[in-house]
Amino acid sequence: MQAATLPLHQLLRAHTASAHARVDGGLDGGLRDACAYAAYLDGMAEFLDAAAVVIGDEPWLTEARRHLASDRGQATSTAIRRHEDSGTDPAQVAGWRYVVAGSTLGARLLLRDARALGAGAMRGTAFLASFSASDAWVRCLAQLRDAAFDDVSRQRACDAASDAFHAAETALTRARMQSHAA
């Protein structure tokens, strides 16, 4: 099947497979201890802030960011404005939404790890509980299915998804490095 005839979510999956594997590899073994959990929360905060700039403050994302701030012991303000040149391209939004909404699936596994660590005693699990219970992935798939993108827009969506995975990888790596340096 040619790329132009692949459903958009399958095209995005194929285009980002190696980037997805790198992000998953960075979380290989899950959340082993309190330090790993704190670094994960810090990395996700940076990533979801970047995502909100592109896709806007959608209710599910705003709620996730509010819970994340609370779990990190920070103020719960989640206001972020889109950059003038960001978030206006539906293909770019679709690519970023694909990555962010897809990360709610991985959050289900990480929630088990955090609870096994007794995370409530060190940091809360409200973010992971809320994020993993979100219907963002189901809604994202429906939006991708209904998107009427031409070939150029489909490529922009793929490029945006790659950018989103890169942002996630960078944020999570930076947070891990900072936690090891502390």
Tens digits of residue pLDDT in 82-94: 544 544 799 999 9
Question: Helix, strand, coil proportions of the chain in percent (round to 5)?
Answer: 75, 0, 25
Tell me which residue of 46, 40, 158 sits closest to 107, measured CA to CA.
Answer: 40
Residue 149: which domain range? 3-181
Q: What is the per-residue pLDDT for 87?
A: 44
Q: What is the per-residue pLDDT for 161?
A: 98
Q: What is the per-residue pLDDT for 156?
A: 98
Number of domains in the chain: 1
Q: What is the per-residue pLDDT for 124?
A: 80
Distance, in Å, from the CA atom of 49 to the CA atom of 177, rounded to the nearest integer, reads 19
Give the residues of the chain that fall short of pLDDT 50.
1-2, 83-84, 86-87, 121
CATH number reported for the structural domain that contains residue 69 in this entry: 1.20.910.10
Q: What is the per-residue pLDDT for 1?
A: 47
